[in-house]
Structure 1
Amino acid sequence: MKKIILYSLITSMIVSAFAGIMGLSAQAAPVSVPLEKTVVGYYTSWASAKGYTPLHVPAQKLTHLNYAFAGIDPAANSIALANPQRDLKNFEQLRSLKAANPGLKTLISVGGWDDSVYFSAVAATEESRNSFAESCRAFLVAHGFDGVDLDWEYPVSGGKAGNLSSPGDTGNFTLLLSTIRQKLNEQSLIDGKQYYLTIAGAANPNYLKKIEAGKVAELVDHIFVMTYDMHGPWDSRSDFGAPLYSPSEYSPQYKNSVFEGISAYLNAGIPAGKLVLGIPFYGYLYEGVSENNNGRYSAFSSARAVTYDAVKNNYLNRPGFRSFYHEEAFVPYLYGNAAFLSYEDTRSVGAKAMMARNLGLAGAGIWELSQDTGGELLESVYAGVNGK
């Protein structure tokens, strides 16, 4: 833990250097003092089809639940349900969950990897921005949500093939957020309720160059930093999916880490209190790896994502696999049968949550809840981020 403390001191200096740089505009997010650290959990619409309904969520360990995902109707420039029959049934259960847990805030998350195709178009003009923002306001009121989370993957470039994009996305993203914030603030004046606006952002400096980071931070309640997928099946070598720190050992490919991802935002002047550190409840299994380094940094024949539930039920006690914990990266992994499995456990997610607390971040968050149906990882995140 000495390494965490050292990095915490260094980053605290970075945070202090940027304190007070950005004032709040009239359209800024309302200021509130949370009683506990933020814990955000993404709940996916398809989880209910697998039997993990909203009523299974351990809401007492969450402050915010983001329902993923809604899409965009390009004809109407409005928010749109991805699966109306399933979504409306889930929404009903979310309202029941909130009734039993009054402190829980629910947000509708728009976009994600598969549904970000029309963000560029809806952000492009004042008319389309107003239409989309008004649809968000009406959606929240109609379905009992407390806010909207924009998961635009990604402005300007990147994301899924076929996504619309433009160099103008940089400024238009800010304008879209400003318009939504205005509509939410207007609704607050009508019903006296606080409404939340958040975004999910990539954990790298390149993403921050494509948005007006300081202006965005003023407008949103928090930024969920996707500090995972540091490595994955798109790489040429097996590697850790979310190492807390980059290992000092040699690797034939690029290095990246959770600490570096969060540091990119702090170095860009984003206040620590606006950041939520994202934690994966899944890992990656690489098959056909070399026995060198117990499968680390090896060429592989195939790779795929594996949920924590699957790791626990299908791999931890499988004959031929050995368990390891990388003391620099602060992550566990398995090796055996010519396979390397990078994943998370209660110790590793607790270390990530502790980092969020030590750096003074708003809190931590999870992608995604149904991958840990027993709730043990969530329990560790909650304890770590709140110092319990």
Structure 2
Amino acid sequence: MLTVTALVQVFFSLHSIAETSLLFVKIGYNAELLPPENIPWDLYDHLDYFVAKTGPNPESDIVIENETNLKVVASAAKSHNVTISLSIGGWTGSKYFSSLVASEQSRKTFAESILRVVKKYELDGIDIDWEFPNQPGDEGNQISKDDSSNFLKFLSILRQILGPKARLSAAVSVKGFSGPDGQYLTDLKDFGEVLDFITIMAYDIFGPGFSSVSGPNAPLFDTCNEPTAKFSVSRAIKNWISTGFPASKILLGIPGYGYQYQLLDSSLNKSDFSGKSNKTSFIFNQISKGAASSTNIKVSSFKGPKNCGGPVEGYNWLFKDLINCGLLSPDAEKGLNGFERHYDNCSHTPFLFNPSSKTLISYDDPRSLALKAKYSKSKGLAGINLFDATGDTQDQILLKAVKSKLTN
């Protein structure tokens, strides 16, 4: 999961009532880029503050790196009639979850420590972002074959302690939760009974740090996917609904960022999928072990974000930086400065390619995110979570594209 380099990140959730769906858009926040006083509060009525971490013991206080910032944001949210939750965990904050929920006493003690935080900051809810129960996550994470069953027990206790009015949600894998045998569980109805919402993190399907070829970060469909990454938005939604988890409690997680690859060749590889989808794709290419830095990209101006002209940290590009750094036109329709914009009709995602530097960047744009929003609505989902919307432009073209599909 992508994180913006900052001590504190805040995620807002926007929801507006439409005839057939709710719209929830989770928005990433960097205090350096968007101070609380500049937040467009009128757009939102729920906010998830991301992220707090746990200590090694259930009685340990929840670790919030900048408590002052949380207080300021919580106060501002309340003054604008916006409810607020605290997210706990994340990719680097899931180390101790396994032991914290391992026994009845530890579960109760951990839940009580969360309640103290809720009361202290006058929060309206909690979001648990455990990455991932009974599955490898970040290096050093504790893991147990009983993680998923213990997680359910913990959520049940947490629900009781927080009370029925508190909002309780979780961020989850595209594949679901693993059972004691390592296989993914086929019945998750009980999780649906205790949780108000889940966010399916339907991104990072392909990435330069873990994929053998370049590919779409968040494919809508996987008909054309390279065989080692047969997953997508559509498959994730289908899988979760098939477990009995209510579609009306599912939020689709979509990315406001993309990945940069260094290809071996200066021309794109043609992949013919006529036997599967009768389509041709050019996004799957052999890659080198390292990604090119943006110093290899010739742009006319380096005005804007710090990473224009510097290394691309973690191979990540925020969508807005593609525009601000001069790789993509402001309307997101044309590549610039040696980059060609392509649209992959198999995955329904765009990508940029520079033949001179052999650089390919897979990302999502207003068109691809609007399609995901439309698809989610057609499946009866609660809405969309954008991770993270610090990747959006100043005029929020990503959010506007998503909202237009969910509210019309």
What's the secondary structure of 2:170's corresponding residue? strand
1:251-280 Cα offsets, whole Å, 9 max, x none, are 464332111111110111211101001110
Q: Deviations over 1:55-84 (max 9, x none)?
A: 44434444432211101122353452241x
What is residue 242 of structure 1 aligned with on the other side?
218
Structure 1 pair 377/57, CA: closer, same or farther in 2 (3 Å)?
farther
In 1, the alpha carbon distance for the partners of 2:140 and 2:150 equals 19
Change (3 A) 1:40 1:335: same
Q: Which residue in the other structure is 2:346 paired with?
A: 328
Identify if the C-alpha distance between structure 1 residues 40 and 64 changes in structure 2 by more than 3 Å, giving closer, same or farther. farther
What corresponds to 1:276 in structure 2? 251
Q: Structure 1 pair 213/42, CA: closer, same or farther in 2 (3 Å)?
A: farther
For structure 1, which segment, 145-154 or 329-338, has the greater mean C-alpha deviation from structure 2 after superposition? 329-338
- The residue type paired with residue 348 of structure 1 is S
- Following superposition, the deviation at residue 373 of structure 1 comes to 4.8
2:216–2:362 CA contact under 8 A, matched in 1: yes
Q: How big is the shift at 1:140?
A: 1.4
Query: Do the aligned residues in 2 keep the contact of 1:55 with 1:94 (CA within 8 Å)?
Result: no
8 Å contact 1:155–1:170 — kept in the other structure? yes
> Is the CA contact (8 Å cut-off) linking 1:40 and 1:365 kept in structure 2?
yes
> 1: distance between equivalents of 2:215 and 2:249?
29
Report the CA distance shift for 1:258/1:63 in structure 2 as closer, same or farther (over 3 A): farther
Q: Pick the structure with more helix per residue.
A: 1
Query: Residue 216 of structure 2: SS of its match in structure 1?
Result: coil
Aligned 8 A contact 1:40 1:64 in 2? no
Letter in 2 for 1:162: G
State the shift of 1:180 in Å: 0.5
Q: Is the 8 A contact 1:252 1:297 kept in 2?
A: no
Q: Distance in 2 between matches of 1:306 and 1:300?
A: 17
Are residue 311 (structure 1) and residue 331 (structure 2) matched? no
Q: Read off the aligned partner of 2:237 and give its amino acid letter.
A: I
Aligned position for 1:110: 88
- Pairing 1:257-268 to 2, within 5 Å after superposition: 257-268=232-243
CA distance in 1, matches of 2:284, 2:228: 8
Matched residues in 1 for 2:141 and 2:196: separation? 26
Hey, what does 1:53 align to over in structure 2? 35
Give distance in 1, aligned partners of 2:223 and 2:39.
35
Q: Is the 8 A contact 2:74 2:121 kept in 1?
A: no
- Structure 1 residues 117, 363: closer, same or farther in 2, change over 3 A? same
The residue aligned with 2:173 is: 202
Number of the residue aligned with 2:384: 364
1:355 aligns with 2:337: no
3-state SS, counterpart of residue 149 of structure 1: strand
Greater shift in the superposed pair: 161-170 or 378-387: 378-387
Distance 1:113 1:325, change over 3 A: same
Unaligned runs of at least 5 residues, structure 1: 1-32, 189-193
Please point out which of 398, 401, 404 is paired with 1:377: 398
Rounded to whole Å, the distance in 1 between the matches of 2:148 and 2:114 is 21
Q: Which amino acid aligns with 2:112?
A: E
- Verify the 8 A CA contact 2:50 2:87 in the aligned structure 1: yes
Asked whether the equivalents of residues 238 and 286 of structure 1 are also in contact (C-alpha less than 8 Å), the reply is: yes
In structure 2, distance between residues paired with 1:128 and 1:219: 19
Q: Letter of the 1:356 partner, please give it.
A: S
Per-residue deviation, residues 290-329 of structure 1 (Å, max 9, x unmatched) = 3123762212222411111211212215311111112232
Structure 2 alignment gaps of length 5 or more: 1-14, 271-281, 292-314, 329-334
Hey, what's the Cα distance between the residues in 2 that align with 1:331 and 1:55? 34
Deviations 1:63-107 (Å, cap 9, x if unpaired)? Answer: 432211101122353452241xx342243133213322x2x3321
User: Matches of 1:289 and 1:59 in 2, distance apart?
Assistant: 46
Distance in structure 2 (CA, Å) of the matches to 1:383 and 1:67: 25
Give me the whole-angstrom Cα distance separating, in 2, the residues matched to 1:350 and 1:171.
Answer: 36
The 8 Å contact of residues 54 and 94 in structure 1, kept in 2 or not, is answered as no
What is aligned with 2:23?
38
Q: Name 1:88's counterpart in structure 2.
A: 68
Q: Does 1:300 align with 2:307?
A: no
TM-score (norm: length of structure 2): 0.78
Tell me what 1:29 maps to.
none
Query: Residue 54 of structure 2: SS of its match in structure 1?
Result: strand
Quote how far apart the aligned CAs of 1:42 are: 4.5
Counterpart of 2:148 in structure 1 is 170
What's the C-alpha RMSD, in Å, of the aligned pairs? 2.3
User: Structure 1 CA distance, aligned partners of 2:400 and 2:158?
Assistant: 33
1:99 to 67, 72, 79: 79
- Please list every run of at least 4 consecutive aligned residues from structure 1 whose deviation after the TM superposition is greater than 6 angstroms: none
Q: Are residues 133 and 252 of structure 1, via their aligned partners in 2, closer, same or farther at CA, if it must alter by over 3 Å?
A: closer
**Using a 3 Å threshold, how does the CA distance of structure 1 residues 43 and 55 change in structure 2: closer, same or farther?**
farther
2:229 is paired with a residue whose SS is coil
